[in-house]
Structure 1
Amino acid sequence: MPKKTLWIALLVLLPLVLAGGLYFLTQETYQPYGTRLLNPRPVDTLDFTLTAHDGSRKSLRDFEGKVVLIFFGFVNCPDVCPTTLLELSKVYKALTPAEQQRVQVLLITVDPERDTLQKLASYVTFFDKSFIGLTGSPEEIAAVAKKYGVFYQKSGVKSPTEYNVDHTATVFALDPKGSLRLIYGSGRAAETERVVRDVRWLLRG
């Protein structure tokens, strides 16, 4: 190959090589704010089918192609649940409209006896109209909670309708393939900018 042609080829290829290397380094060296699972849980081990607040049946696979943020809570929760949903709404609103189309926040109730579809609808859409509340039979909820390692139980029971529910206050972040990649402990989602960076990292993946 003539020397001139070789130099032209190098000049053409060099930006592509550098861009590819930069992308690789960005993907490999990024340190998420959320706790990163060394062995991401695949969608097969996490999938579920529950009833959305609009009455439709939803499974995890329905959100393929989106980053899904899941939180287990309940409508009558006095503090942790509304705080966490507010934190997630700030994260969602900090994204661009195009990014928002690829992100879904889900609240799975741990109080299916009291959280009717109407109550769930009013509750989750207060934080953002795109948020979805999910419920099911007590058995269905227990099965889903087990998959995610979520603990919950009634406490301070005064009557069949007056009680609190102690529960795991973790946010689960799943990538567009449905794999569980990151988790955020109670209060961690309050770092809006850092969680937004994590979400964008998951979207790129």
Structure 2
Amino acid sequence: MPIVARKCLSRLALALALTLPLGACGGETPTSEAPLAGAQLGGDFTLVDQAGKTVRAADFAGKYTVFYFGYTYCPDVCPLDTANLMQGYHAFAKAHPDQGARLVPVFVSIDPARDTPQVLAQFTGNFGKELVGLTGTPEQIAAVAKEFAVYYEKRAAPKGSPPQAYLMDHSRAAYLMGPDGKPIALLPVEQNGAAVAAELARWVH
């Protein structure tokens, strides 16, 4: 795993640990309870989708959602994770069409300076019409990232490259959220589409 990804995962693990209630540390045997049950993740937001339409958290009420935070200029991790997410989504929706109709995959950009709605439309179009791309002002992105305990940070462009060729460090996670907007589980987008589909089948009813 790349060094950046390892660092992001460790930061994400710390963030999630801080959001979980103290009762989760009792060492109980695993149950069928959702892995992220009780975590303080998610909340209200106002962003813009790839069509330029304002999107709010309330627009997803009654549906399962998957939120992945990344950016379209990402050279490797984001395209791979998004491909695995959408492969898993399509496999799950084909096998369970009723449940699939209640599931919305969402890609939230942590690079609003470059990820305009038009750029997001090109990116999401590579993975399927069902994928919703969201961007916004830097302040709006910072707010929604805080709601999901997402870490991100701009890195300087490599020496000799133009300033706009910068990269972004960020958390690597796909959050499955319930129809009530509460967190359920992290999807294994770092593995493959089959693993994602299996996890969706476990929790989306």
Query: What is residue 15 of structure 1 aligned with on the other side?
Result: none
Q: Does the CA contact (< 8 Å) of 1:67 and 1:199 recur in 2?
A: no
> C-alpha distance in 2, partners of 1:161/1:89?
28
1:181 Cα shift?
A: 1.4
Q: Does the CA contact (< 8 Å) of 2:67 and 2:105 recur in 1?
A: yes
> C-alpha distance in 1, partners of 2:188/2:148?
13
Q: Which amino acid aligns with 1:76?
A: Y
Deviating more after overlay: 93-102 vs 103-112 = 93-102
Q: TM-score of the superposition, structure 1-length normalised? A: 0.75
Residue of structure 2 aligned with 1:46, choices 16, 19, 43? 43
Q: Does the CA contact (< 8 Å) of 2:112 and 2:138 recur in 1?
A: yes
Larger Rg: 1
> C-alpha distance in 2, partners of 1:118/1:38?
36
Q: Which amino acid aligns with 1:69?
A: V
Q: Does the CA contact (< 8 Å) of 2:88 and 2:196 recur in 1?
A: yes
Aligned residue for 2:74, secondary structure, equals: coil
Query: What is residue 111 of structure 1 aligned with on the other side?
Result: 111
Q: TM-score of the superposition, structure 2-length normalised? A: 0.75
Query: What is residue 100 of structure 2 aligned with on the other side?
Result: 100
Q: Which amino acid aligns with 1:123?
A: F
Question: Larger helix proportion, structure 1 or 2?
Answer: 1
Query: What is residue 79 of structure 2 aligned with on the other side?
Result: 82
> C-alpha distance in 2, partners of 1:130/1:186?
17
Query: What is residue 155 of structure 1 aligned with on the other side?
Result: 155
Aligned residue for 1:50, secondary structure, equals: strand
> C-alpha distance in 2, partners of 1:80/1:48?
25
Residue of structure 2 aligned with 1:181, choices 171, 180, 184? 184
Query: What is residue 165 of structure 1 aligned with on the other side?
Result: 168
2:140 is the counterpart of 1:140: yes
- CA offset digits 1:5-48 (Å, max 9, x no partner): xxxxxxxxxxxxxxxxxxxxxxx95477xxx1241447xx5221
> C-alpha distance in 2, partners of 1:138/1:63?
22
The verdict on how the C-alpha distance between 1:106 and 1:162 changes in structure 2, with shifts beyond 3 A counting, is same
Over aligned residue pairs, what C-alpha RMSD do you find?
Answer: 2.2
Q: Does the CA contact (< 8 Å) of 1:67 and 1:202 recur in 2?
A: no
> C-alpha distance in 2, partners of 1:41/1:149?
9
Give structure 1 stretches of 5+ with no counterpart: 1-27
Residue of structure 2 aligned with 1:71, choices 68, 73, 78? 68
2:94 is the counterpart of 1:91: no
Query: What is residue 6 of structure 1 aligned with on the other side?
Result: none
Aligned residue for 2:145, secondary structure, equals: helix
Give structure 2 stretches of 5+ with no counterpart: 1-29
Question: Larger strand proportion, structure 1 or 2?
Answer: 1
1:101 Cα shift?
A: 1.3
Query: What is residue 36 of structure 2 aligned with on the other side?
Result: 37
1:123 Cα shift?
A: 0.3
